[in-house]
Structure 1
């Protein structure tokens, strides 16, 4: 009964978003309430669940996403991202351009949300492709692969951070295992897939791209941008802080904060929590990309305000996903899934991936697919004793699969690279699915040793 209500609820969500073009946040909250009624929950309990779901989801995450967006925008507006891309390309040379683009996209992708990273990197990719006389898509595929991997696997990005919180996983472990899985995923879905795609759809590689889709472009003189070292350190600072905490705790405390921590234990544990790591990183970015370059405070604040505007709706969508997740948990859907698969030979990690894949295909949004899947597999994960960090990555991998016409990323890639829908399905959709499959294989291999 509960699973039937869940199915009908997802159908309703699809109908509201795709057919009636209703806002995703509004659709999620309405669907959560209708599903709550369908599950026979007391009406007052439905209201409480929705409130708790939104509040619980956005508690710590509002700082992580808000400060993360501000930090990324400061790096971008100061020309830090421009410097990173150009320096790597100069160092690697024309023969290894794809590796340079992947590295630049990976570093920039950690600091910026996927859509912002795409908008920022596409003009750089276009300029380099023209200069080096290579097809734009030859560099575009590795760029998109690197951005997607950071978006799906690595905190402080929305989906991995949100499900890390929902499943009670250690953010440092998610980051460490995520980087291990990310490397082969980017290589396979980037340079290796480009070779295959070039033979399958040669016409797509003849396209000149469409920069007008990006609107007015900010231009930089390389000598006026921050140095490469400062730009990289600023972009990666949240990751550096979380990595320090993870490595320290793994070496000295068996992977977690001890019951009676010393002052050093407490300080290192403190700086590695996502919210504190982002706060420290934002302060650093305000200095390195602002005050340290003699930019006045009002101008820095203007950049920060613009960044907040760009993520306001994303925050609400994540809150709405949290409301839906909470209704599924409180209404007993999670328990029904646990019962259904209690005697199945399927690994909970594979199940989490499969649920996320189905939701991703149905809903389009990787973040919503991740959060809904997390709510469904939480009881199963606890009963099976699965490593929460691996479950986060399994769901994250599933949430990237088979991006198609209901995903904003699909249309961005199509427009920027001037492709037909068929060509976008053969490039973008395939590379996203490759990342998803390689990600799952990586998680299953890691589960044998951690």
Structure 2
């Protein structure tokens, strides 16, 4: 079947299973917080670690797993990731306590790292070069659909069969995806020699991201001692500096900083981080704002659906709607400008249930134009033998953007207080981030003249 002319489409569709599950899991778990707190008699600060442990493990492992997969085979590691993710999902559904659930979520994140670190590389090595942007758009659409269905599916499951099935739903999808991946995914033909894991590097990277996110959480109202914010920030900076120093000194580093030095890769990764920060920021802002207005949760869920729906629509159909003469740089620039325009309107207009869905849909469409073009710019600049490392960097930027989207909006709301003024401050933070994305996507000529 892999020899058919259109076999690459089936391979990309198989990768979309992982993209779908990852984002479904990201958007579905937060709906279990009240049920988990009630069943395990735990405060929200403890329950949040169900998400935080998953995210931190994922960010720390994406790059080393991508490096390891470059040498051992991306298809093999991807299938192992599905197996571990599916088994850990079943274990999460059977967890006897909160500590066990958090531990199983760490294992689930290890499987997710094997999936996500190889997903972009498998897409780019499966699709013909002239179809790469469309293939990455399909993957982005799979993520958006999972993100869009998460609140609806999660709400139904928690309300009917209970929170455990929020994790159990991954099991049948994972089994189907493993069978499809075995038959449809391409074998790795270009392998990097001598790729090794770097335990010290993983610990330093994990320590930097964990301490940094905890510092932001403490500044946002997490119940930690007052002195912890400065201490955690210092640990994050120190661990980050040691990580960079170690990578520069190693002959075969976990993260090849020479890739980051390339203009198209470094600026593209910053753009990817900004894009996902802007995508996930409203997922925190809208429920808080609607709760202040005493609107039902179902209304906020329905309104939020407009954002990933617009993202999926543009990611799949944007290739046909945009002028064919536009290259990826111009498409990314146009998408980033669209994000800034939508957020500017959001800051200026009242956030009502009739106006906000239109603005969120426009924001989603702009992000759906920006993201595939941005990812294509990064991956087309990465050597074939380092595709897994490049894909890991892209996914690490996405993961950090997701975390910072939640953290930045939460921090803005906490510092600005309650009310419409705080909501506007949070939107202005997202607008500033979108303007950074505009700068990363400036066409070469304009960047030099600027």
TM-score, normalized by length of structure 1? 0.30
TM-score, normalized by length of structure 2? 0.30
